[in-house]
Amino acid sequence: MKKFTHETLVGLFVLTGLVCVAYLSFNLGNLRAFGVQEDYVLKARFTSVQGLSVGSKISLAGVKIGTVEKIELDNTRFVAIAHLRIAKSVILHDDSIASIRTNGLIGDRFILISPGASGIQLKPGELIVDTESALDLESLISKMAFGSVQK
Tens digits of per-residue pLDDT, 13-53? Answer: 899 999 888 887 766 665 555 555 588 999 999 998 988 89
pLDDT < 70 positions in the chain = 1-4, 26-37, 136-137, 147-151
How far, CA to CA in Å, does 97 sit from each of 12, 34, 100, 122, 144? 52, 33, 10, 12, 29
In 3D, which of 132, 69, 140 has the Cα closest to residue 101? 132
Mean of per-residue pLDDT scores for the chain = 84
pLDDT at 79: 92
The C-alpha atoms of residue 131 and residue 34 are separated, in whole angstroms, by 34
